[in-house]
């Protein structure tokens, strides 16, 4: 389990544009690294579109947004196009980065337990230090909370 004040582990995943992207590519930038369960679901769509709607504010602060899920690159491409998302979506089909960041968890729904992605966001500073972790995120208003916390940092 990662904690605030620790270095964010580096990783490399395929992006929605099919290139490989590593966390270390963004050394010197502040990041919003958010993990979400599934492209196109109501909560994930709300979270993504709220980040989209505040993108100009994040850009003014020189903040990069990266979204990560187990969905395929093709799924990310469709999701990104449908909702005009201006940030990078990373594909982690094997769940290696989800495990690395401790967001692949046992969940329950209607009395059934299963493994899934716990909606979690990490704010990361220019030196790759985790400055804030939001666990069990509620999608509505989350992007605004991230922006406010980053402006205060």
Which active-site residues does the annotation give?
Answer: 44
Q: How far is CA 143 from CA 88, 132, 148, in A?
A: 15, 13, 9
Task: Please state, in angstroms and rounded to a whole number, the distance separating the CA atoms of residues 131 and 108.
Answer: 29
Candidates 133, 129, 140; CA nearest to 118 is 133
Strand 63-69 versus strand 30-35 pairing type: parallel
For 83-108, b/e burial (b = at least 16 CB within 10 A) is: eebebbbbbbeeeebbeebebbeeee
Task: Please state, in angstroms and rounded to a whole number, the distance separating the CA atoms of residues 25 and 61.
Answer: 18
């Amino acid at each position: 389990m990662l904690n605030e004040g620790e270095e964010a582990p580096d990783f490399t995943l395929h992006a929605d544009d099919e290139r490989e992207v590593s966390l270390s590519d963004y050394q010197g930038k502040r990041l919003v690294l958010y993990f979400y369960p599934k492209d196109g679901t109501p909560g994930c769509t709300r979270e993504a579109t709220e980040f989209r709607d505040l993108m100009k504010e994040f850009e003014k602060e020189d903040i990069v947004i990266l979204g990560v899920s187990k969905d395929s690159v093709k799924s990310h491409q469709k999701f990104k196009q449908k909702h005009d998302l201006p940030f990078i979506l990373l594909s982690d089909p094997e769940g290696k980065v989800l495990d690395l960041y401790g967001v692949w968890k046992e969940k329950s729904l209607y009395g059934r337990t299963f493994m899934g992605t716990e909606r979690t966001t990490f704010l990361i500073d220019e030196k790759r230090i985790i400055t804030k972790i939001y666990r069990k995120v509620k999608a509505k208003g989350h992007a605004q909370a991230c922006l406010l916390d980053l402006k205060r940092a």
